[in-house]
Amino acid sequence: MRLLAAALLVLGTALAAAPAPVPVNDAVVTGGGYPQTLGELGFFTDPGARQPAAGVVPYRLQTPLWTDGAEKDRFVYVPAGQQARAQGDGLIDLPVGSALIKHFAFGGKLIETRVLLHRKDGWLALPYVWNAAQNEARLALAGKRIDLVTPTGQAISYGVPNKNQCKDCHSLDNVTMPIGPKAYNLSAAWLTAFAKSGKLDRVPVVDRRIPLWEQRAKVPVADAARGYLDANCAHCHNPKGAASNSGLYLGWQVTDRIALGVMKRPVAAGRGAGPHEFDVVPGQPDHSILLYRFASTEGGVAMPELGRETRDPAGEAVVRAWIAGMR
């Protein structure tokens, strides 16, 4: 008895010294219903969700979506023993049981965390809002308005999207889908490491990659602008997206000039068109509806429709320079 007790004690000490990796709660990820707290999913080992659990891998996009200047941390989770599949330079195909997790913070303080869970019946998008103590994020199915101050000092009513609004952007042919992890918007180094870790079947070949946003002054302005438009607009503005009926398609690989808005008249823009007649007038950013809507914060005019209460001067500058230099 004493020996056994001693053995147990030793074992317990060993476990405490080198804890086994805490696994993600796969049953909750793939189960039914809506987990009420982020913690239930087990993507992080600490209540503040700063330490990713085993298999939860951080990543970044070359050029990200801008959301009122929020600081974002992104993670991808692929369950043990499974593998994502590369699909050319497009969206990585993540198997059932996978998840994408995205923190939104201002001044280092977490505001919300959005998750995409790949269940048997498809992807599910859910928003979680952080408490003041930063130790619990609760489901906000119906969204929420939160007063905060942006990095540029603007006091705003920040909009946490509701579950349906998540899908507004995350939908292709009305099916919920991830947006971000397309190979052409991920670095070669990250893709290589992800494949090497066994979580991706191969390193996808990418002919043209969206440039790093921080490098925008050093790359051709068209590349920087088109990368920005892809990340900020193309999830709706594509032939299968929420804005399919507009005929304005802003994806990275679109080559048709009319589809990109060049001398294209608006269809259902309503007063979003302002005094302008065309989406993009080459050489004339101030006569282009695209920039007009970017530079507005007014409901019914502002684009993107969701997730932006303030202007994005850096994004505007790149789009402006692109249109100004266009012939």
When the beta carbons of 79 and 161 are compared against another protein, the nearer one is: 161
When the beta carbons of 145 and 202 are compared against another protein, the nearer one is: 145
Q: Kindly state the smallest distance separating residue 22's Cβ from another protein, in Å.
A: 31
When the beta carbons of 227 and 266 are compared against another protein, the nearer one is: 266
Positions in the binding site for another protein (CB under 8 A): 141-145, 157, 159, 162-165, 167-168, 171, 174, 239, 242, 244-245, 247, 258-259, 264-278, 289, 298-300, 305-306, 309
How far apart are the C-alpha atoms of 85 and 92, rounded to whole Å?
A: 6
Running DSSP on this structure, what letter comes out for residue 265?
P
Strands, E, within the chain: which ranges?
A: 56-59, 71-77, 99-106, 109-119, 122-130, 137-139, 144-149, 155-160, 171-172, 175-176
Q: Which residue has the tokens 């965390």?
A: 113
Q: Which residue has the tokens 């804890």?
A: 19
Q: Kindly state the smallest distance separating residue 276's Cβ from another protein, in Å.
A: 5
Q: Kindly state the smallest distance separating residue 26's Cβ from another protein, in Å.
A: 25
When the beta carbons of 202 and 257 are compared against another protein, the nearer one is: 257
When the beta carbons of 50 and 145 are compared against another protein, the nearer one is: 145
How far apart are the C-alpha atoms of 281 and 322, rounded to whole Å?
A: 11
Assign 129 to helix, strand or coil: strand
Burial class (CB in 10 A: 0-12, 13-18, 19+), 152: exposed
How far apart are the C-alpha atoms of 244 and 173, rounded to whole Å?
A: 9
When the beta carbons of 55 and 241 are compared against another protein, the nearer one is: 241
Q: Kindly state the smallest distance separating residue 159's Cβ from another protein, in Å.
A: 5
Q: Kindly state the smallest distance separating residue 124's Cβ from another protein, in Å.
A: 12
Q: Kindly state the smallest distance separating residue 315's Cβ from another protein, in Å.
A: 18
176-204: buried (b, 16+ CB within 10 Å) or exposed (e) per residue? bbbbbbbbbbbbeebbeebbeeebbeeeb
When the beta carbons of 11 and 267 are compared against another protein, the nearer one is: 267
Q: Kindly state the smallest distance separating residue 140's Cβ from another protein, in Å.
A: 9
| Whether 57 contacts 44, CB under 8 Å | no
